[in-house]
Amino acid sequence: MEDYNKVIESLGVRYIKAKNLVLQQPFTVRNYYDVGNNLILLHKGRIAFGDEEQVVEEGEMLFIPGGRATKVSYGEGGGKVITNDDLISNKDKFFHSNTDLDLIGDAEESHSHVSFEAKVFDSVNFFASLDVPAFLITGNSKLANLVIKIVEESLQDLPGRERLITIYTENLVVEIVRYILRNKMFVEQLATNSTYFKDPRLIDLFNYIKENIGGDLSNKVLSSVANVSEDYVGQYFKMLTGINPQDYIEYQRMERAVFLLRTTKKSIRDIGKEVGYKDTAYFCRRFKMMFGIPAGKMRRRESAMNI
């Protein structure tokens, strides 16, 4: 249990957004994807997920780890099948954003969701590093109440709003980890993750990659940071994390690129260079391959994502 306490203590949690949404028409998104982690609480209606169409019952929650493409259906019958790109472009056709506090939990065909980051030492996406699929959370009224509290705070301009949202989101992440431990889910992956806290060289690598995301992050450079041989550093990193270092670096670069697209007016070319891609065309190809949408289109449609 001590290792898991270290896991929780090391997590840097950041609230991204929260919404209470009312379904406009049934649909299925075959590759729902987001950089942030998403916790969806179904109030009324029907949600199903995965290739086997596992059903989320009213009052239950669907957790979708960041960086994990998942099939999700809303409403009876599944409706029209769309891509994640279609959802981003036409979200107001499928959902209405409810801002009436009195209707949260009462509106037909409605759900609440919270999007957030949870990173080990602010460097590696914890839930993505577990490499687990979307999963169902049942019988957890405390977690459900936290989702509602975060949504309610996000809809009100009250003193202390940001502080409470931060506290509630951190609490929410702890409750998700506790749920995983209590139900003995993903035991092997969690055991692997606990190794992050047994070898300071790995933490040095995480921090170096974060601080030098646009620079030279070849295995030769990483080997000098971790003080292991260049031939061994890739094997060492994968042994402890389950992913090879260059794949991890590309994910971190793309995640940083998404952040810059959403928060700055920098050109695609400048963003590509800032995150380590000298060739803009190659950066754009890799970005679309990872997210299924061109970088420029993601920027133009960011306002649509927030309805």
Does residue 71 sit within a domain?
A: yes
Q: Residue 306: its pLDDT value, please?
A: 47
Mean pLDDT (whole number) for 272-276 = 96
Query: Which structure tokens are listed for 299?
Result: 């920027």
Same domain, 8 and 156: yes
Does residue 257 sit within a domain?
A: yes
* Per-residue pLDDT tens over the stretch 170-184: 999 999 999 999 999
Rounded Cα–Cα distance for residues 221 and 285 (Å): 25
Contacts of 284 (CB under 8 A, 6+ apart): 268, 272, 294, 295
Same domain, 268 and 181: no
- Rounded to two decimals, the pTM is 0.81
Q: Residue 109: its pLDDT value, please?
A: 96
Same domain, 90 and 146: yes
Distances (CA, A) of 49 to 6, 32, 71, 142: 32, 10, 5, 23
Question: Which among 295, 299, 257, 298 has a CA at the least distance from the CA of 276?
Answer: 257
Same domain, 184 and 40: yes
Q: Residue 305: its pLDDT value, please?
A: 46
Q: Residue 35: its pLDDT value, please?
A: 84
Same domain, 203 and 185: no
Does residue 305 sit within a domain?
A: no
User: At which of 190, 216, 241 does a domain end?
Assistant: 190
Same domain, 13 and 125: yes
CB burial of 40-69 (b: ≥16 within 10 Å; e: otherwise) equals bbbbebbbbbeeeeeebeeebbbbbbbbbb
CATH number at residue 221: 1.10.10.60
Query: Which structure tokens are listed for 152?
Result: 């309610």
Mean pLDDT (whole number) for 102-128 = 90
Q: Residue 231: its pLDDT value, please?
A: 93
Does residue 240 sit within a domain?
A: yes
- 47's enclosing H/E stretch is strand 47-49
Does residue 306 sit within a domain?
A: no
Does residue 303 sit within a domain?
A: no
Rounded Cα–Cα distance for residues 173 and 175 (Å): 5
* Per-residue pLDDT tens over the stretch 219-250: 999 999 999 999 999 999 988 777 889 998 99
How high does pLDDT run on average in the chain? 90
* Per-residue pLDDT tens over the stretch 33-87: 888 999 999 999 999 999 999 999 999 999 999 988 899 999 998 789 999 888 9
Same domain, 163 and 58: yes
Tell me: pLDDT of 307 over 50: no
Same domain, 54 and 82: yes
DSSP string, 221-248: HHHHHHTS-HHHHHHHHHHHHSS-HHHH
HSE value, Cβ hemisphere, 13 Å, CA-based, for 9? 9
Does residue 307 sit within a domain?
A: no
CATH number at residue 84: 2.60.120
Same domain, 158 and 242: no
Same domain, 149 and 1: yes
Same domain, 61 and 108: yes
Same domain, 102 and 232: no
Tell me: pLDDT of 1 over 70: no
Q: Which residue has the higher pLDDT, 183 or 124?
A: 183
Residue range of the domain that includes 105: 1-190
Rounded Cα–Cα distance for residues 111 and 41 (Å): 6
User: At which of 172, 190, 208 does a domain end?
Assistant: 190
Does residue 302 sit within a domain?
A: no
User: At which of 190, 220, 237 does a domain end?
Assistant: 190
Any idea what DSSP says for residue 36?
Answer: S
If one counts the domains in the chain, the total is 2
Tell me: pLDDT of 11 over 50: yes
Any idea what DSSP says for residue 4?
Answer: H
Q: Residue 190: its pLDDT value, please?
A: 81
* Per-residue pLDDT tens over the stretch 258-270: 889 988 889 999 9
